[in-house]
Amino acid sequence: MIKIDRSRCIYCGACVGVCPVLALTLKETFVEYNEKKCINCGNCAKACPMKAIDFKK
């Protein structure tokens, strides 16, 4: 599961592009996370250019 720090997020959508199961949706000023779809791959946290995503297995 992940935690997105909205105070760091610049809503660039990089995390959305690498999510293989569309568990993330880019909204206008934030990213929406659907925990039910998430497969815990951690790609989003690795991708985030702002280090705004905390990933715990």
Partner 1 sequence: MISRSDIVKTDYDVIVVGAGPGGSFAAKTAAKAGASVLLIDRRKELGAPVRCGEGLGSHWLDELGLKISPKAISAEISGSVLYSPNLKRAVKIQNPETRGYVIDRKVFDKDLAIDAGRAGAEVIVKTEVYDVTKEGGKVCGVKAYSMGDRLEATCKVLIAADGGESTVARLAGINSTASLYDTDFGVEYEMVNVECEDLIEIYFSKSAAPRGYVWVFPKGKDVANVGVGIGGLEKGNAVEYLDTFIKNNERFKNAQTVAIKGGLIPVGEPLKDLVADGIMVVGTAAHQVDPIHGGGMALAMEAGGMAGEVAAKCAQEGNVDKQHLMEYDSKWRKKVEPKLMRRLLLRKVLEKLDDDDFNTIFENLTDDDVDRLIKGDYKPVVKKVLIKRPQLLKVLSALL
**Residue 18 in contact with partner 1, rule: CB under 8 A:** yes
Q: Is 32:23 a contact under the CB 8 Å cutoff?
A: no
**Residue 19 in contact with partner 1, rule: CB under 8 A:** yes
3-state secondary structure of 54: strand
**Residue 27 in contact with partner 1, rule: CB under 8 A:** yes
- The minimum distance between CB 56 and partner 1, in angstroms, equals 16
Contact track, partner 1, 31-50, x by CB under 8 A? ------------x--xxxxx
- Interface residue list for partner 1 (CB under 8 A): 10-14, 16-20, 22, 25-28, 43, 46-51
